[in-house]
């Protein structure tokens, strides 16, 4: 039996320029960022083609929004799945595409020296190749319709740096960002924008549920002091798709509460460089930090 599909809480906002238009969300029935994007698109008056391989969840989403959502059950890592997307897109004139599919299973995490060709190929198929193919299908239809369009591909903030134990995943996600930048230049003359949204530590049912997490450590490491919500990532995606982002293309917007800004040698809590050798200076900076916050935060 298919579990009930949760629809995440999203901002109470209608994004301009989407009413009466059609958007395609690949990976929209997972209950996370993709589903939040669907909810915001529907709220903004758009018709949404939701592509997902989960038959039960996709049907639930279509039943929740019967006037706005068209369900397409397809595995976009396969030729057949891409053909299904092509048929669905051919019947409409999409103004937007969101690619959310991607990830890595816990049992896949491992050292680079143990990486197998099969694992590498699977990561490319799941995180990069399908993005290229769905973008081609939708962008061709946008070009045929001679109407402006916007594409947003989801990535992860960590892919901009090294990802120890996730070499295959980091490489694929970095590839998404590189591909999107080039798409922006080549598709720009056709009136099609392409951007990436890279998310950080976010509570998501299929990625990071937050169950059993060390909230104190998260507060110490994330400048904004908390995990993000999928609705916050989706709102960024909708901004780029909507009439609010019509002069933005080829960019990667990072939604991670500032986590990726801190270099590893800056300690948590107080951001004092670990290699600052003057103990009097360290003591003074720690005192300033504690004074500003009004209490001790380092547990000592």
Count how many residues are written for the chain.
300
From 65, 130, 169, 269, active-site residue: 169
Query: Has 266 been annotated as catalytic?
Result: no
From CA 169, how far away is CA 108, in angstroms rounded? 10
From CA 105, how far away is CA 124, in angstroms rounded? 14
Phi-psi region of 20 (alpha: psi -120 to 50; beta: other; left: phi over 0): left
Is the CB of residue 18 less than 8 Å from the CB of residue 96?
yes
Catalytic amino acids?
A: 169
């Amino acid at each position: 039996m298919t579990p009930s599909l949760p629809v995440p809480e999203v901002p109470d906002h209608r994004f301009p320029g989407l009413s009466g238009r059609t958007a395609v969300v690949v990976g929209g029935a997972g209950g996370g960022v993709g589903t939040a994007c669907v909810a915001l698109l529907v709220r903004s008056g758009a018709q949404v083609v939701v592509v997902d391989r989960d038959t039960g969840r996709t049907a639930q989403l279509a039943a929740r929004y019967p006037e706005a959502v068209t369900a397409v059950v397809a595995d976009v890592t396969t030729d057949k799945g891409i053909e299904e997307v092509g048929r669905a897109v051919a019947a409409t004139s999409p103004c937007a595409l969101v690619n959310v599919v991607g990830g890595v299973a816990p049992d896949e995490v491992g050292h680079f020296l143990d990486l197998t060709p099969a694992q590498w190929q699977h990561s490319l198929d799941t995180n990069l190749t399908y993005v290229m193919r769905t973008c081609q299908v939708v962008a061709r239809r946008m070009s045929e319709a001679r109407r402006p369009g916007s594409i947003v591909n989801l990535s992860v903030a960590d892919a901009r740096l090294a990802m120890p134990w996730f070499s295959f995943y980091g490489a694929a996600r970095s590839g998404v960002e590189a591909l999107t930048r080039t798409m922006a230049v080549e598709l720009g003359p056709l009136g099609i924008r392409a951007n990436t949204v890279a998310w950080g530590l976010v509570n998501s049912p299929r990625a990071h549920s937050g169950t059993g997490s060390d909230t104190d450590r998260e507060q110490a490491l994330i400048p904004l002091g908390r995990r993000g919500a999928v609705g916050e990532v989706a709102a960024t995606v909708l901004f780029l798709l909507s009439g609010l982002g019509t002069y933005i293309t080829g960019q990667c917007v990072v939604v991670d509460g500032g986590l990726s800004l801190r270099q590893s040698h800056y300690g948590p809590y107080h951001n004092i460089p670990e290699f600052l050798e003057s103990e009097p200076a360290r003591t003074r900076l720690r005192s300033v930090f504690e004074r500003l916050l009004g209490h001790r935060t380092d547990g000592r």
